Structure 1
């Protein structure tokens, strides 16, 4: 008679699956049914936002007609053919919904008094409600003058009073530019302290929007305010926004005593507050393709949810981890707590597009609480994309939204397979997961980044892989400082000091990666360039699958990549002729004129002019090996900043 153990083994073998028949985390094939409707709605919304009204309506009608044609013959049919027709019809209906909602939102921008008045550059009095955090626009150099500090904020116009006294109620998104006086040393006083939902009364000059609005989200008009005084507040912020503002301010105060980079980066890493990020640190994160760390992402919320519920794969198991089981919380209570945590996260970090993306990614983790299956995450991502695009169709053209969805999708589909392949070749598990995650996200997102930044980073994978081990402790300790700041400021300062160590290390990684001579290469900033890069990436992946079997070829490729990044002068000079050996005078192209470098000893040079932007002259001097500038001669006024020389 067979034993119980033998029966269980036989059932396990008969299941034909690696984890057996009874394993609650058993992963089956990915459920892709929601992916085509989500992509259809996304694509239709992106096209409808830039199409004429008549074309958008025609496209919606054609999608509905196609759905009807698919459904009518399917009546009375069963099987795969009828199910396929239903799936196509559902995809077309979602495309019609996405295109229709986007067309309606685009039409709203041309209604009301603002668009016509903006075309006439009229002076009006406007009551607005602030919808985003104010930020300072970097001053620009024009000839011998530097523009005054300007504050930019997004708002919604509620009431418009024209010069003839006509008052019109409206609800139009606008961009407010507040320019200080020429004598002011910084931005206008009081404007940077404004919180979302605050209502203001502005006397402004209207301007038509350019390039479809900032940040990929269109606006009805630009309000230019010239004032030397504080804003006129008619209604203060709501209680949730006031509490959120106090928490954010408390985190900034708790991090005041940290070193420069950590002080600037910690609020940005935790709640997306980039007001302290200097230009050179921002440029370093851009060069290393680590800019996603300066904006709130799904990773921030996922870290907090994992702290609460433990790894999603153990959510339905008795040995699930996290704080929830230790507090005696049931599975349903844990899901509710996770939803409330997500809501609080959105309020504190502001309901901007990047925060909405983070909330959607966090809700994916909450869905995993009830299933514990990886295959449930991809449909949840597709559903989140579909709902967000229908809620706010401007997200369909937002680069941050595109990158967030692509990165999350790569982590759910590509990264697990690459991680498993690396483990099979002897790589430790944690290292394989980190490398696979960084490589998958970079491979999928690089074409879009090339369109946005016109460059390809060669140090993105190692920099992001190293930073991955530091982001989690920095985020957890930073949020702990955020919560405790109003209650116990000394404890918040201690937590901020602890968070400052990994945060400073993340900044050091970005600066080190960006300082390498071959950190980035120029690439066509167009969709044609993106398609070319995507094709090259796919070819590289196919070649890499064959190369991994030959260790010597892998080592040779690694050496070539290291040489491309490090660019040692003895090897590069014969190919490029730069930097010239024994140079005495070098001319650097700085975009507006030239900068001259006269050799003045080992690692030193006298510099004549520097151009309006620091990056170009700094890159040239670094290539020449210049680390000291004993004398700087300016033949006309610019405001250069040397980062790697003194």
Structure 2
């Protein structure tokens, strides 16, 4: 109690500098009131020491605030720097943390450098950059967030950049990053999407690959913290391990196991400062029984917080630190009393399966309630379903983490042992996804609370403290009555139930007809053709590497990575970015492409992927024929050696023939290529047409439609795309031609079937 009083003075003094001009006055009032209480309760000596701690906290915090200046002037010109963190892939660009050299006013400062996707830049590289650096604008929420992460400026898409040296930085960090890459690649090779991206987010904090709709569901359900580098995760890991193992091997042994898992988890995440701090606080919680009693945990946490904030007062701005502290404090104040009261009232033995379930629920509720105000303040949202959603998924967190980690070595096993070993991870991650999606879909799941502030959180935390005190004072008055429940049935029954659901939902692997599926990948093309015999041809991969993995895995089923032929119409972002991912992730038998315009970072990445693949690679042109399990693919454009003026007009045009059914795939060709095709006098009549260039006005002209006479046409475009695709004039031409039009921006994924005599739209 005395230590808690002293620490509270330190924190009040430290927080005063954050409150602006009113800070000192408000702090003085709080300190005066608290001093009167301490003086009457503990005596003048402790009161004097408390005042000194408060003054010290204010001085340290004030000095830290003065050291956080951001340069006032921008910079434009040549500068150098070293990459100090592993670049973060964010779809069409990479975020690179650069420590600047050779720029006046910016020497030694960290800036966020934005480079195109597929830029070959890694941790420890030294760069020479030509471009501008803009100071962060702290009135913008995102740039204020960047400042809290240690950045002072941004440099977006510089004119030029060049890697001048590699291999710098910390050798230990390079080793940890190599391990992270191995884990990421191994997990991705055996788990289907979105389970793969969820597992990588959980294990190593890779969130960029998670589908956007699932990210929104995670936020709405309040479960996003489970797949992020979060201090709250460390606290939940500690509490869940204690709950799961405490009844089996004892609290002391479980505490040691939890401490070891926290250390391993921090190493796997790459030892970022936020996780190191969270690990220290989580370690204090799990090791408290070993060094005395669980009642030592509050004192240990208090000492740890003072040490961390004394070393770096600015950490108070760090969201991860706030979540870590709140989570651990919630576990200390609430989890234990909740567990004892509920087990006592229900008569459950603490070491029994039901007692363990109660403790897991208490850990979940305690951490969730303790962090909800922080999330509301920082994001302006409050998930009303978060407590229930977390109750359902957090007990599975440790099994998900362990099973996902096991999926890494499973990737080195031969098929089908790799898929069998990784299947438990997929099962648990699919459960996590289904629960999250279902909870997020409930009406009113996410509440906007833009005006929620620190003043609103005070009564919340006061109420939680009172709740914890009342629960701690409650004495259970019933004898335990659930003692003999075995662990085996308690675990086996839900596993068998989930396995049954999986078998019920598993997609069929064969068909009596040829299937042509126009995959909804956004503003881009990806067409999957599956023959009656099970052969697969993928034409293009769309613009988003993770989206193509998600939709392909959904179509192919768990553990199936076979693509017999990957055909790339041309090297463009909206066709090739996903194709590179397919080459890296799937078992591709052969690749065919036009051999043209592989330039820039995207072209370099495509050529590197071709060099690394074991697949057969063919450059094809008009007149070439490819036969896959009876499916005939006739290339009709461009001619060999032809170099069109526009890259789009170099797209491969392929007629897929299945018996008497013809399917024309036109890439991104425009009017010039359409005229060239008509001039070749090739037979272009088709039952099904993939409309060129996403329905742009310069394609699918009247003359071309007259030659193709399609019954069906599919336009592949992204919802709300900035190009206005498909254009109204194209829709009008198709209507006048009597063609039935399907659109991925409106209809989502569109699938057809063919028996060789006719083609029809599948339900």
TM-score (norm 2): 0.52
1:47/1:99 contact within 8 Å kept: yes
Residue 214 of structure 1: aligned partner: 145
2:127/2:161 contact within 8 Å kept: no
Is 1:283 the counterpart of 2:236? The answer is: no
Residue 44 of structure 1: how far off its partner (Å): 3.8
Residues 1:420 and 1:351: Cα distance change in structure 2 (over 3 Å):
same
Residue 123 of structure 1: aligned partner: 77
Look up the SS of the partner of 2:209 in the other structure: coil
Residue 395 of structure 2: aligned partner: 469
Is 1:388 the counterpart of 2:308? The answer is: yes
Residue 419 of structure 1: how far off its partner (Å): 2.7
Look up the SS of the partner of 2:114 in the other structure: strand
- Report Cα offsets for 1:45-68 as digits up to 9, x if no partner: 44435748xx99x899989x99xx
Residue 206 of structure 1: how far off its partner (Å): 1.9
Look up the SS of the partner of 2:447 in the other structure: strand
Distance of 2:371 and 2:55 partners within structure 1: 27
- Report Cα offsets for 1:596-646 as digits up to 9, x if no partner: xxxxxxxxxxxxxxxxxxxxxxxxxxxxxxxxx999997974799989977
Distance of 1:535 and 1:643 partners within structure 2: 47
Is 1:135 the counterpart of 2:93? The answer is: no
Residue 151 of structure 1: aligned partner: 94
Distance of 1:40 and 1:34 partners within structure 2: 10
Distance of 1:42 and 1:156 partners within structure 2: 32
Residues 1:59 and 1:128: Cα distance change in structure 2 (over 3 Å):
farther
Query: Quick one: which of 59, 62, 67 aligns to 1:100?
Result: 59
Distance of 2:745 and 2:334 partners within structure 1: 41
Distance of 1:635 and 1:137 partners within structure 2: 18
Query: Quick one: which of 311, 332, 345 aligns to 1:412?
Result: 332
Is 1:453 the counterpart of 2:386? The answer is: no
- Report Cα offsets for 1:311-340 as digits up to 9, x if no partner: 8979998x9546x9xxxxxxxxx79x957x
Is 1:435 the counterpart of 2:361? The answer is: yes
Distance of 1:288 and 1:279 partners within structure 2: 14
Look up the SS of the partner of 1:273 in the other structure: coil
Residues 1:302 and 1:46: Cα distance change in structure 2 (over 3 Å):
closer
Q: How many residues align?
A: 473
Distance of 2:106 and 2:75 partners within structure 1: 19
Residue 175 of structure 1: aligned partner: 111
Distance of 1:35 and 1:293 partners within structure 2: 30
Look up the SS of the partner of 1:416 in the other structure: helix
- Report Cα offsets for 1:144-164 as digits up to 9, x if no partner: xxxxx333243444x3344xx
Residues 1:268 and 1:37: Cα distance change in structure 2 (over 3 Å):
farther
**Matching of residues 395-406 of structure 1 within 5 Å:** 395-406=315-326
CA RMSD of aligned residues (A): 4.9
Residue 235 of structure 1: how far off its partner (Å): 4.4
Look up the SS of the partner of 1:276 in the other structure: coil
Residue 526 of structure 1: how far off its partner (Å): 3.0
Is 1:273 the counterpart of 2:200? The answer is: no
Distance of 2:221 and 2:115 partners within structure 1: 33
2:12/2:27 contact within 8 Å kept: no
Residue 372 of structure 1: how far off its partner (Å): 5.1
Look up the SS of the partner of 1:223 in the other structure: strand
Query: Quick one: which of 225, 228, 246 aligns to 2:178?
Result: 246
Residue 460 of structure 1: how far off its partner (Å): 1.0
Residue 517 of structure 1: how far off its partner (Å): 2.0
Residue 293 of structure 1: aligned partner: 226
Residue 420 of structure 1: how far off its partner (Å): 2.8
Residue 473 of structure 1: how far off its partner (Å): 0.9
1:364/1:380 contact within 8 Å kept: yes
1:176/1:223 contact within 8 Å kept: yes
Distance of 1:541 and 1:304 partners within structure 2: 24
Residues 1:316 and 1:265: Cα distance change in structure 2 (over 3 Å):
closer
Highest CA radius of gyration, 1 or 2? 2
Residue 364 of structure 1: aligned partner: 284
Distance of 2:719 and 2:225 partners within structure 1: 38
Residue 400 of structure 1: how far off its partner (Å): 2.7
Query: Quick one: which of 132, 136, 150 aligns to 1:205?
Result: 132
Distance of 1:457 and 1:210 partners within structure 2: 29
Higher relative contact order (CA 8 A, sep 6+): 1
2:236/2:367 contact within 8 Å kept: no
Residues 1:261 and 1:437: Cα distance change in structure 2 (over 3 Å):
same
Is 1:500 the counterpart of 2:426? The answer is: yes
Residue 269 of structure 1: how far off its partner (Å): 1.0
Residues 1:633 and 1:403: Cα distance change in structure 2 (over 3 Å):
closer
Residues 1:524 and 1:127: Cα distance change in structure 2 (over 3 Å):
closer
2:202/2:401 contact within 8 Å kept: yes
1:134/1:153 contact within 8 Å kept: yes
Distance of 2:317 and 2:231 partners within structure 1: 19
Residue 343 of structure 2: aligned partner: 423
Distance of 2:166 and 2:90 partners within structure 1: 25
Residue 288 of structure 1: how far off its partner (Å): 0.8
Residue 26 of structure 1: aligned partner: none
Residue 280 of structure 1: how far off its partner (Å): 1.4
Residue 289 of structure 1: how far off its partner (Å): 0.9
2:231/2:323 contact within 8 Å kept: no
Residues 1:234 and 1:115: Cα distance change in structure 2 (over 3 Å):
farther
Residue 600 of structure 1: aligned partner: none
Residues 1:96 and 1:541: Cα distance change in structure 2 (over 3 Å):
closer
- Report Cα offsets for 1:542-576 as digits up to 9, x if no partner: 9x99xxxxxxxxxxxxxxxxxxxxxxxxxxxxxxx
Residues 1:223 and 1:534: Cα distance change in structure 2 (over 3 Å):
same
1:354/1:401 contact within 8 Å kept: yes
Distance of 2:744 and 2:445 partners within structure 1: 20
Look up the SS of the partner of 2:102 in the other structure: strand
1:109/1:115 contact within 8 Å kept: no
| Structure 1 stretches lacking a partner, 5+ long | 1-31, 71-78, 139-148, 163-167, 181-186, 325-333, 546-628
Residue 472 of structure 1: how far off its partner (Å): 0.9
- Greater Cα offset, 391-400 or 634-643: 634-643
Distance of 2:319 and 2:175 partners within structure 1: 30
Query: Quick one: which of 151, 157, 160 aligns to 2:102?
Result: 160
Distance of 1:529 and 1:642 partners within structure 2: 45
Residues 1:200 and 1:531: Cα distance change in structure 2 (over 3 Å):
same
Distance of 1:242 and 1:232 partners within structure 2: 18
